[in-house]
Amino acid sequence: MSTSDQVPAGADLFDADLVDAEVVDAELVEAAMEVARRYARGDNHTVAAAGRAADGRIVTALNAYHFTGGPCAELVLIGSAAGQGVYELTTVVAVGDRERGVVPPCGRCRQVLLDYFPELRITVGQGSRLRTVPVRELLPETYVWADHQVD
């Protein structure tokens, strides 16, 4: 199956029944969408993220917008996970409020997620293009902070 065919054509923002479970963690996407539906309010909280822990648990978070550059949902997710004793995430997805669907991580989040979890997979795309890819694929010519530290 090619990456452009991982979710059947005609799928809107997300339909769990149309997702190939081996390619996209539908439960994870639904968890993020539920947090966005229930808790995203106004302009301060507009994106939800969900992460799958190595032990199978799902951790969720919301962004905290602030004009000084408040953290994205993916960065809040890292702290939320640690606060629950989760130090290894295997997959992350972010979704927008108002049923905007999956939102790809910004450049800062891509770099931070790579530094924390080099083997992480990120769900990206919309409709028929929803897929999960290694975080390294989202950062060409990847800089890995840990590789440049002096022991």
* CA 135/CA 99 separation, integer angstroms: 24
Active-site choice (27, 74, 88, 99) = 74
Closest alpha carbon to 29 in 77, 76, 91: 91
Decide if 74 is catalytic. Answer: yes
Closest alpha carbon to 89 in 61, 68, 128: 61
* CA 63/CA 77 separation, integer angstroms: 9
Closest alpha carbon to 132 in 50, 75, 57: 50
Annotated active-site positions, please?
A: 74
